[in-house]
Amino acid sequence: MVQLSSVAAQIARLSANSLSGTGGIGAYRLSDLTDFGSNPGALSARFYVPAGMVAGAPLVVVLHGCTQTAGGYDHGAGWSQLADELGFALLFPQQERANNPNLCFNWFSPVDARRGSGEALSIHQMIMAMRARHRIDTDRIFITGLSAGGAMASIMLATYPEVFAGGAIIAGLPFGAARSVTDAFARMRGDGYPSDAELAAAIRHASDHKRRWPRISVWQGSADQTVAPSNADRIVASWRIVHGLPDEPTQRIVTGGIRHERWSNAEGEAVLEAYDIAGMGHGTPLRTTGPGGCGASGPFMLDVGLSSTRQIAQFWDLGDGIPSADTGIDPDRAAPFEPAADARASSWAGTRPATVGAVIADALRGAGLLR
């Protein structure tokens, strides 16, 4: 059997060669955060504070996906652009190749997926350092992530719920989904899940939190072939149970292949929402041009005419920040997103030869980690 170390080395070389030139784009906007604690997860950290930011500003924590860097993800998603407009601070935890050769956060590792340990504790320490050094409003701290970063956002929201007012999970996985690499690939396919009630119980038991739970935004493309769309259903169901919400959403809007559902609590506050984008593959939904354009398209950064960055900020009440009070959808792009248009941006999709995903999958199959 192929050794795991050789697979890791192959993945690292592949990632560096396939995405060279993207990792550092936008990195000049970010500064290094140092001396933030014991850092048991051995992560690095970057941050952005817009000029003139006032004391008591919100903080958004942004977690990149596999093969990405903090600067590259910021460039694509446009978070620092929106921070300039709305006046909030940003924290970008960043994975290191020594921890994961494909730059994935280790959401499937038990030591990194629990309170007070590993990568989860490192991210918490970064947040506490940012909160103290930049006089952040402790009631307005939020977290979002894509893919493995989305799975790590799920972990942080479950293990440190008292820290966050809200979270957004993009093409990610629910808390309690996996405890090994084998589990991780099964769950990414949507296989072998515990019940929704068990997933909700895992969130409740991840800390001793008894107060208000964070509001949650969930994003998924229907044509995602890296993280099965059923994972978004599991995330929504588990948080719906935690929040004590009914099965049916309070509001459902379908516009041009984009389904948006919201659940409100007994006080009428929207505390859970879900976006399903027809035909979209694996990545962060963007609207890069026109009124409210934000970010830049690229690998895993998909221009579908809807800015998840702006919509998430609105859901968190960070500011209006979107071109339409109804949906924020670009009417010129409000049509089902064709999978073919996703070919360049989502190198994980389908069975196309010579893609990053195809080679990684072959390497993992050779190592016996993927069927």
Examine residue 78 and state whether it is found in any structural domain, yes or no: yes
**What percent of the chain has pLDDT above 90?**
77
Pairing of strands 141-146, 166-170: parallel
Model confidence over 74-132: pLDDT tens digits? 999 999 999 999 999 999 999 999 999 999 999 999 999 999 999 999 999 999 999 99
Examine residue 16 and state whether it is found in any structural domain, yes or no: yes
Examine residue 371 and state whether it is found in any structural domain, yes or no: no
| Spatial contact of 14 and 290, defined as CB atoms under 8 Å apart | no
**118-133 vs 148-159: helix axis angle to the nearest 10?**
70
Q: What average pLDDT does the chain have?
A: 85
Chain centroid to Cα 146, Å, comes to 3
Model confidence over 154-188: pLDDT tens digits? 999 999 999 999 999 999 999 998 999 999 999 99
Q: Give me the domain span that covers residue 176.
A: 4-366
Distance linking the first and last C-alpha atoms of the chain: 14
Q: What is the CATH number of the domain that holds 277?
A: 3.40.50.1820
> Largest Cα–Cα distance of the chain, in whole Å?
57
Examine residue 126 and state whether it is found in any structural domain, yes or no: yes
Question: What domain count does the chain have?
Answer: 1
Nearest to 270 by CA among 338, 217, 331: 217
Model confidence over 300-346: pLDDT tens digits? 999 999 999 999 999 999 975 444 434 455 544 443 443 333 332 33
Handedness of CA 291, 295, 297, 303 (dihedral sign): negative
Q: Which residues lie below 8 Å from residue 109, measured CB to CB, with a gap of 6+?
A: 118, 119
Examine residue 311 and state whether it is found in any structural domain, yes or no: yes
**pLDDT confidence of residue 319:** 76
Catalytic residue flag (residue 147): yes
**148-159 vs 196-205: helix axis angle to the nearest 10?**
60
Model confidence over 23-50: pLDDT tens digits? 444 567 999 999 999 999 999 999 999 9
- Beta pairing partners, 195: none
> What mean pLDDT comes out for the span 64-68?
97
**What percent of the chain has pLDDT above 70?**
79
Q: Exactly one of 15, 109, 122, 147 is catalytic; which is it?
A: 147
Examine residue 10 and state whether it is found in any structural domain, yes or no: yes
| Spatial contact of 307 and 249, defined as CB atoms under 8 Å apart | no
- Beta pairing partners, 261: 252, 274
Examine residue 41 and state whether it is found in any structural domain, yes or no: yes
Q: Please tell me the distance from the alpha carbon of residue 129 to that of residue 291, in angstroms, as a whole number.
A: 35
Model confidence over 210-262: pLDDT tens digits? 899 999 999 999 999 999 999 999 999 999 999 999 999 999 999 989 999 99
Examine residue 70 and state whether it is found in any structural domain, yes or no: yes
